[in-house]
Amino acid sequence: MTAAPDLPPRRLLLVHAHPDDESIVTGATMARYAAEGALVTLVTCTLGEGGEVIGPELAHLTADRDDTLGAHRIGELDAAMAALGVADHRFLGGPGRYRDSGMMGVTENTRPDCFWQADRDEAAGHLVAVVREVRPQVLVAYDENGGYGHPDHIQAHRVALRAYDLAADPAYRPELGTAWRIAKVYYSRMPRSVIEQGLKETAAAGGFPGVAVPSDVPGVVDDGLVTTVLDNPAYAGAKAAAMRAHATQITVAGDHFALSNDLGQPLLATEYFQLVHGEAGSALPETDLFAGVEV
Ligand SMILES: [Zn+2]
């Protein structure tokens, strides 16, 4: 399986649930690989229509008022991608195909158009088309709990891993392109010791009314599960700028940020991953998602 000659040698695919997740969880990594000339492809599964809105000026956008937050967040995501230097961004099945499901247990979970209710194989088919087009060697996704239990994050995990399998099966929908096996699959992670220390520093900085707890943060695991550490200080500014672009969702203050709940968290330029499919390309921890990948 060789790549088409017009594709860059290194290709990274990230699957995220809502606009803003990509910047919070993987912003520095995306900026780094884009700057290094890799093809960075972001697939976002929903428009984040169910989000809350920070600040009174745009409060009318929310689902219980104008219900126009999704369209607004497309613009925020465009600005975030510009800040990260990432040109290739798609919404799964096209913008608005799958609606934000809201937090687990709310009535929006039962809307037939929401991502939580999506047929998994149909949703995965949209992603298979992207995989076979851009032929990534590396996929970054969430764990089976979606990192922290949000229905759209859980579904994003299921769809990403289903597409990973289906894309490699030559018998599956050949009209979507030539089968492609992704060499390495990672879950986004946050080592427990890192977030505990970071939250202490956020508390000491005192920039927000409250401070988050580790269970508010996606992907927290015991340090020993982390296989791969990307220390990206050169891209801290790009990550912060991308997070600021999601202004209805995120307030950035120095090295810290808060979501609409006003609970501060550390804004970390170092990002962490767990290799779950494929072989590590170096002694652990790896420092490059493409370690050991033939390009
Ligand atoms: Zn999200």
Dig out the tokens for 48 from the structure.
Answer: 């984040």
Output the CA 21–ligand 1 centroid distance in Å.
5
What average pLDDT does the segment 97-113 reach? 96
Is 71 a residue whose pLDDT tops 90? Answer: yes
Say what the pLDDT of residue 49 is: 97
Q: How far is the CA of 51 from the centre of ligand 1 (A)?
A: 9
Cα separation of 182 and 178, whole Å? 13
- Is pLDDT above 80 for 3? no
89 labeled binding residue: no
Per residue in 219-262, pLDDT tens?
Answer: 999 999 999 999 999 999 999 999 999 999 999 999 999 999 99
**What is the model's pLDDT at position 295?**
87
CA distance 257 to 268: 10
Residue in this structure with the two tokens 């998994």, named with its chain if needed: 120
How far from 48 is each of 16, 69, 75, 229, CA to CA, in Å? Answer: 11, 7, 12, 28
Q: Which of 182, 187, 237, 188 is nearest to 32 (CA)?
A: 237
Interhelix angle 69-84/236-245, nearest 10 degrees: 160
Instruction: Give residues whose Cβ lies within 5 Å of ion ligand 1.
Output: 17-18, 21
Decide: helix, strand or coil at residue 96: coil
Please, which residues bridge with residue 265 across strands? 257
**21 annotated as belonging to a binding site for a ligand:** yes
Checking if the pLDDT of 2 tops 60, the result is: no
**Beta strands at 88-91 and 39-44: parallel, antiparallel or unpaired:** parallel
Q: What's the rounded Cα separation, in Å, for the pair 236 and 8?
A: 24
> In angstroms, what is the span from residue 170 Cα to ligand 1's centroid?
32
Place of tokens 């494929």: 278
Of 12, 10, 288, nearest to 139 by C-alpha is 12
Cα of 92 to ligand 1 centre, how many Å? 14
Total Cβ atoms within 10 A of residue 204 = 9
Tokens for 232?
């990206």
pLDDT at 1 over 60: no
Q: Tell me the C-alpha distance between 97 and 179, whole Å.
A: 25
- Ligand 1: distance of its center to the CA of 294 in Å? 32
Q: What is the pLDDT of residues 27-40, one digit of tens each?
A: 999 999 999 999 99
* pLDDT 10s digits, 269-293: 999 999 999 999 999 999 999 999 9
Q: Mean pLDDT throughout 167-178?
A: 98
Return d(Cα 256, Cα 151) in angstroms, integer.
26
| 51 contacts 245 by C-beta, under 8 angstroms | no
Q: What is the pLDDT of residue 171?
A: 98
Contacts of residue 101, Cβ cutoff 8 Å, sequence gap at least 6: 46, 50, 108, 109, 111, 114, 115, 116, 117, 150, 151, 152, 155
Centroid of ligand 1 to alpha carbon of 146 (angstroms): 9
For residue 148, pLDDT beyond 60: yes
Q: Which of 263, 36, 13, 2 is nearest to 160 (CA)?
A: 13
Check whether 123 has a pLDDT greater than 90: yes
Read off the amino acid at residue 246.
H
Q: How many angstroms separate the alpha carbon of residue 24 from the centre of ligand 1?
A: 9
Residue 113 carries which side chain, given as an amino acid letter? D
Residue 190: per-residue pLDDT: 98
Question: Do the annotations mark residue 246 as ligand-binding?
Answer: no
Distance 18 CA to ligand 1 centre (A): 5
Residue 1 Cα to ligand 1 midpoint, Å, equals 33
Distance CA 72, CA 65 (A): 14
Q: Which of 204, 202, 167, 203 is closest to 183 using CA atoms?
A: 167
- Report CA(31)–ligand 1 centroid distance (Å): 19
CA distances from 122 to 13, 15, 93, 112, 179 (A): 19, 16, 9, 14, 17
